[in-house]
Amino acid sequence: MIALGAHAEFIIAAYVGVFAGLAGLVGWTVFAARQTKRRLEELGDARTGNPAQ
Amino acid sequence: MSGFLSVLSREIRLSLRGGGEILTLVLFFVIVGAVVPFAVGPDKALLARIAPGIVWIAAFLAMLLGLEKLFGPDRADGTLALYRLADIPLSAVVAAKVIAHWLTAALPLILASPALALLLAMDGETFGRTVLSLLLGTPALAGFGAIGAAVTVATRRGGLLAPILIAPLSVPVLIFGVGAISASGGPDQAQAAALLLAALSLMVLVLSPFAAALAIDWGED
Amino acid sequence: MTIDTTPKMTWWNRLSHPGQFVALTRPLILPLALVTGVLFAAGLWYGLFSSPPEKYMGDTVRIMYVHVPTAWLSQFVYATMAVSALGTLVWRHPMADVSMKAAAPLGAAFTAMALFTGSLWGRPTWGTFWEWDGRMTSTLVLLFIYLGIVALWRAFDDQLRAARVVAVFTLVGAVNIPVIKFSVDWWSTLHQPASVFRADGPTMPGEILTPLFVMFFAFTFLFVTLQLVAMHTEVRRRRITTLERRAARGDAR
């Protein structure tokens, strides 16, 4: 690991913050996608490839 | 042209008939300015320095107050639907409304600005520049206000949404408006700011009725 | 019209139909996500391990590797929204408003990250976490515009009606953003002491270009991937609303 220099904590905070933010963004996007997919399956929508009950 | 003038006179008459609305607006304007010394202390030097900014903030907030009434009541009683079907284009109606709004909201504020100048320890020359700056810049606020009101007219609880949408757009108006008053950069800077402000107002005044009319039409379909 | 003379469906036409759009673009998601992952891994390697500190900034230049891409994205996503708005209003492409809606929260998030990383870069460099310089201030105003647009979408019950109204506002914003930038730059040069403070942000010397470019592409691919998934979600959401309304009315399926 390269020495991060005198201001290491800011660099670390920046990267941790950004990747936490990205993880949150990805997680929220995936969660919303799964949620809508599940709801569509519940409603039995033929167009998404799930046969009606 | 006569259609435009009749809409204009209707809007002005309605605003004037509305009883204490103009008075309330002016009171709000003066009160916002008057509250500032309580918050930052009565030091005259400080007040004089921030007075241009305070006047502009107060004007901005006061003009935001009147936005609901721009299209709201007309939508509620069906007049907006009639306007959309009228012979004159909706953008002409909106232009008339913007002018009426400026006449019945911005102009009273400008006339009340001496009170604020007094309370905030503004000197005479600065006050003169303030009046000019408000005259040049409030049309832009009225235009942006019309866009914000038009975009939110079809929403359920427009409420604070229009001010939130307008505020970022109004940043240049505030920057140049205050810049035209403060002498910190010298008279050249103030003049440049005033010209930029005038240009901005002109563009917004000309273009906003079209944008607002489109937003109203598409929000109602 | 015979079978031979019927106009054929091009891929662009096919993409207009929401269901077709989802079906045709779904295979793209996994490859895009993989490319994104690889780019981020490479970017982190170059950014944190395999590149030297910069001559004047020292190691804090590494913050640039996440700040510049997020700042770039905050602009690029708005450009995407503006083009989508034109697509909605001018070309009437049915998927344009879906694209516009999906991009807004993503753009807000990247703008917030740009402010966050910019602030953390500012602390060791300028001494404060926040400075009202031209770029940071413009980015802050941009964040407010993004959040306002997200709020505007939510204020409408009917998202299809909202689409064109939001498109108008997005384009009004697009026209005003250069004006805002200009006025903020004018304002910040007025208020900064002309001497020490270099308000225009860091310059880009050569040795930092590799990690910068890799991260730049990593973030851009991430946006494209998330945008695609979010568009699929929005299409499904609208389908759900239709189905729920139908069920509530008791229509036979």
The reported pLDDT for the residue numbered C237 is 93
Q: What is the pLDDT of residue A46?
A: 52
Confidence of residue C97 (pLDDT cuts 50, 70, 90): very high
Determine, for residues B151 and C176 on separate chains, whether the beta-carbon distance falls below 8 Å. Answer: no
Of residues A5, A25, A32, nearest to C59 (C-beta): A5
| pLDDT tens-digit readout, B100-118 | 999 999 999 999 999 999 9
Q: Which one has a higher pLDDT value, B90 or C8?
A: B90
- Please tell me which residue, B10 or C15, carries the higher pLDDT value: B10
Predicted local distance difference test score (pLDDT) of residue C4: 73
What values do phi and psi take at C54, rounded to 5? Answer: -80, 155
Q: Considering only CB atoms, which chain C residues are within 8 Å of A2?
A: 48-49, 53, 59
> Closest residue of A to C123, CA-based?
A10
| Best residue of C136, C142, C149, C183 to probe chain B, by most B CBs closer than 10 Å | C183
Q: What is the mean pLDDT of residues C154-176?
A: 94
Q: Would you give the DSSP letter of residue C91?
A: S
Distance from CA of C77 to the nearest CA of B (A): 18
Would the CB atoms of A13 and C237 count as touching at under 8 Å?
no
Nearest CA in chain B to C178: B172
Contact B155 C173 (CB under 8 A): no
pLDDT band at B154 (very low <50, low <70, confident <90, very high): confident
Question: Are residues C117 and A18, on separate chains, in Cβ contact within 8 Å?
Answer: yes
- Mean pLDDT for the stretch of residues A42-51: 58
**pLDDT exceeding 70 applies to what percent of chain B?**
97
How confident is the model at residue A6, as a pLDDT? 74
Task: Identify the sign of the CA torsion C172, C175, C178, C180.
Answer: negative
Phi, psi of C144 (to 5 degrees): -60, -40
Phi-psi region of A51 (alpha: psi -120 to 50; beta: other; left: phi over 0): beta
Mutate to test the interface with B, among C137, C168, C182, C188 (most CBs of B within 10 A): C168
User: Which of B90, B94, B151, B164 is the best mutation test for C, with the most CBs of C within 10 A?
Assistant: B151
CA distances to B56, B89, B144, B165, B218 from B60, in Å: 6, 29, 11, 13, 28
How many beta-carbon pairs under 8 angstroms link B with C?
Answer: 88
State pLDDT tens for residues C8-45: 777 777 788 888 899 989 999 999 999 999 999 999 98
Structure tokens at B80: 């907006």
- List residues of chain A with CB under 8 Å from any CB of chain C: 1-8, 10-11, 13-15, 17-18, 21-22, 25-26, 29-30, 32-33, 36-37, 39-40, 43-45, 47-48, 52
Q: Which DSSP letter does residue C192 get?
A: S
Picking from C15, C34, C36, the residue whose alpha carbon sits closest to that of residue C25 is: C15
Predicted confidence at residue B19, as pLDDT, reads: 67
Query: Which chains would you list as touching B if contact means 3+ CB atom pairs under 8 Å?
Result: C
3-state class of C54 per DSSP?
A: strand
Lookup: tokens for C228 = 């695609």
Judged by CB atoms closer than 8 Å, whether chains meet at C120 and A25 is answered as no
Measured distance CA(B153)–CA(B164) in Å, rounded = 14
Q: How far apart are CA C195 and CA C198, in angstroms?
A: 8
Specify the 3-state DSSP secondary structure of B101: helix
Beta-carbon neighbour count of residue B68 at 10 Å?
15
Q: Are C239 and A4 a contacting pair at CB < 8 A?
A: no
The answer to whether the beta carbons of residues C231 and C98 sit under 8 Å apart is: yes
pLDDT of B40 strictly over 60: yes
Contact C172 B211 (CB under 8 A): yes
With CA atoms as reference, report the closest residue to B177 among C183, C208, C77. C183
**Chain B within 8 Å of C178 (Cβ-Cβ)?**
no
- The pLDDT value recorded for residue A52 is 36
Choose from C240, C242, C245, C249 for mutation: most chain A CBs within 10 A.
Answer: C240
List the single residue in A14, A21, A47 with the smallest CB-CB distance to C120.
A14
Which whole-number Å values give the CA distances from B73 to B4, B11, B149, B153, in the listed order? 19, 12, 12, 10
Amino acid letter at C222?
L
Binary contact (B172, C176; C-beta < 8 A): yes
Which member of B172, B189, B219 has the closest CB to residue C179? B172
Average pLDDT of the segment spanning C162-185 = 94
Phi, psi (5° rounding) for residue C58? 70, -145
**pLDDT at res. C226:** 97
Distance CA B150, CA B165 (A): 11
With 0-12 CB in 10 A as exposed, 13-18 as middle and 19+ as buried, what is B207? middle
Is A7 within 8 Å of C117 when comparing Cβ atoms? Answer: no
Distance from CA of A11 to the nearest CA of C (A): 6
Q: How high is the ipTM of this complex?
A: 0.92
Cβ within 8 Å of residue B43, ≥6 positions away: none
